[in-house]
Amino acid sequence: MRFVFMLLFFLLGIFSSVAQDKKQQENAIPNVVDSLYREDQFYIGLSFNLISNKPSSFSQNGFSGGLHMGFIRDMPVNKRRNLAIGVGLGISTNTYNSNLFIGEDPSGETIFSIIDDSNNVDRNRLNTNLIEMPIQLRWRTSTPTNNSFWRIYAGVKLSYIYSYKAKFKSADTSIIKTDIPELNRLRYAATLTLGNGSFNAFVQYDLINLFNKDALIDNQRVDLQPLKFGVEFYIL
């Protein structure tokens, strides 16, 4: 008889536990899958800036780098939502260290020249700050429940240099120039980003020279086309 009572108490305990679990499940917030998800993303990137299409005597020295950040609105174009158009807005700052001197003559006209290696130069660089609008065709392996996926984003980036500064400094001279009419301030570039999860590699190639046809060194055009590559992080 004692065994029967113990068995009854055991079965009642099991039934009570099952009923309680069922009640908790009924009261729990359901895990809803968003089938109409978007990959709206904040982004931040770090780059190494190279220069192509340059005069024969031009050379970079020191580290030339960049930082960019912003937000992209994701607009899927197919039912699976793994193909989309992305349009964003951001800012960028870039530094170019080189032997290209940018100054001015007594009349205020811009002077471009190559710094001789024998000169004792502490610093010679060009800084640019831009407002940017990336436009991307976005392909990814994402699903409504997977936030870590492979991506390939290709597109263009439109930008405008809203501020800039050329700075030269030696032991006895310091020159800062903030008016360079030869600078092509309206920019456009081709971009490609690929990676997985938050960490991605990217490359950006400017489709327009940094300076216009009036920028000359001994009747040779300065031109200069930036080529950027680095890492980019996306945050949902």
Per-residue pLDDT reduced to its tens digit, 138-148: 999 988 777 77
Q: What percent of the chain has pLDDT over 70?
A: 84
What's the pLDDT score for residue 27?
52
Do 77 and 106 have their domain in common? yes
Arithmetic mean of pLDDT over the chain = 86
DSSP characters over 86-108: EEEEEEEEEEEEBSEEEEE-TTS
pLDDT at residue 117 greater than cutoff 50 = yes
Query: How many Cα atoms occupy the beta-carbon half-sphere of 48 within 13 Å?
Result: 8
What's the pLDDT score for residue 32?
57
Q: Give the separation between CA 23 and CA 152, rounded to whole angstroms.
A: 45
What residues form DSSP beta bridges with 170? 121
pLDDT band, very low/low/confident/very high, at 108 (cuts 50, 70, 90) = confident
Q: Can you give the residue range of the structural domain that contains 20?
A: 1-30
- pTM exceeds 0.85, yes or no: no
pLDDT at residue 208 greater than cutoff 70 = yes
- Average pLDDT of the segment spanning 27-53: 78
Do 171 and 103 have their domain in common? yes
- Average pLDDT of the segment spanning 101-108: 90
Do 26 and 45 have their domain in common? no
Among 87-96, 185-194, 213-222, which is the least confidently predicted range? 213-222
Q: Name the domain count of the chain.
A: 2
Do 92 and 191 have their domain in common? yes
Do 23 and 44 have their domain in common? no
CATH of the domain at 176: 2.40.160.20
pLDDT band, very low/low/confident/very high, at 116 (cuts 50, 70, 90) = confident
pLDDT at residue 223 greater than cutoff 80 = yes
Q: Give the separation between CA 11 and CA 19, rounded to whole angstroms.
A: 12
Do 174 and 90 have their domain in common? yes
What's the pLDDT score for residue 143?
81
More confident call, 36 vs 29: 36
Do 117 and 224 have their domain in common? yes
Do 171 and 187 have their domain in common? yes
Do 55 and 17 have their domain in common? no
**Tens-digit pLDDT profile for residues 70-84:** 999 999 999 888 999
- Average pLDDT of the segment spanning 67-96: 95
